[in-house]
Amino acid sequence: MIEPRQGKTNPALPLGGRQVLVVEDDSDTREILKFVLEENGASVVATDAVDKAILEFQRIQPDAVVADLGFPEYNGFALIAKIREIERTTRSRSKCIAVTAFATTADRDTALYSGYDAYIAKPFEPAELVKTVAALPA
């Protein structure tokens, strides 16, 4: 797990004040996602596996989750199902964005139908990621 840098959050930036959980098994992509989000004001916790992400989700109760769909053990669909199950008991709702190499129209539709609020295909443009996270109601 990668903890957020202290003091980086800036409410004047596009993602200022938002807590974001990043779930990505590829270390390079995870670092890029974390960097882009933090540079735009978000406080980020990043993890590399679905089981760890569920624990972190319960611990930090993020405003947004940015997650890959493909993982070695569980997939992003198992993650979103568990997140939405947890939210039914807490009566809260985090905005969830799938950022994935599964880039067909069917993949997009499946992600949105399964409970993700937005979908971004890899390779992604950093500006698109920031715009998508910022556009989701806090």
Q: Mean pLDDT for the chain?
A: 91
Q: In order of start, what are the domains of the chain with their CATH numbers?
A: 19-131 (3.40.50.2300)
54 by Cβ neighbours in 10 Å (0-12 / 13-18 / 19+) ranks as buried
Confidence label for 6 from pLDDT (cuts 50, 70 and 90): very low
CB-CB contact of 76 with 111 (8 Å) = yes
The 10s digit of each residue's pLDDT in 20-76 is 999 999 999 999 999 999 999 999 999 999 999 999 999 999 999 999 999 888 899
Q: Indicate if the pLDDT at residue 7 is higher than 60.
A: no
